[in-house]
């Protein structure tokens, strides 16, 4: 009877921190929420300053804002977790 864990099991446990998946899920959810809020709010403020009255143009600006904000939010979450994993 072999009581030692296999090499694959030891390698999986060596690099994984406790709760990291749950923290990643929460960070991604928060990042998506922040991206949606900022992606809609910032173009709305810019449209107000510019005096844009067209609903269609405001909607297009909001869609573009969300499309731009989502990858930025994912980048910041990824950068945070890469930095977190490199610390010992």
pLDDT band at 82 (very low <50, low <70, confident <90, very high): confident
What is d(CA 39, CA 13) in angstroms, rounded to the nearest whole number?
Answer: 38
Nearest to 62 by CA among 28, 70, 7: 70
Distances (CA, A) of 28 to 63, 68, 74, 85: 20, 16, 7, 16
The pLDDT tens digits for 54-74 are 999 999 999 999 999 999 999
pLDDT of residue 17: 61
Nearest to 29 by CA among 65, 82, 62, 77: 77
In the structure encoding, which two tokens stand for residue 12, read together?
A: 């999986």
Helix axes 55-86, 20-50, angle to 10 degrees: 150
The pLDDT tens digits for 2-55 are 666 665 555 555 566 666 788 888 999 999 999 999 999 999 999 999 999 999
In the structure encoding, which two tokens stand for residue 74, read together?
A: 């994912």
């Amino acid at each position: 009877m072999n009581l030692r864990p296999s090499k694959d099991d030891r390698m999986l446990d060596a690099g994984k921190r406790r709760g990291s998946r749950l923290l990643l899920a929460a960070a991604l959810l928060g990042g998506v929420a922040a991206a949606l809020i900022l992606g809609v709010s910032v173009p709305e403020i810019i449209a107000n300053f510019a005096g844009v009255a067209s609903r269609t143009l405001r909607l297009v600006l909001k869609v573009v804002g969300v499309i731009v904000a989502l990858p930025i939010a994912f980048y910041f979450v990824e950068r945070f977790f890469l930095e977190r994993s490199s610390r010992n």
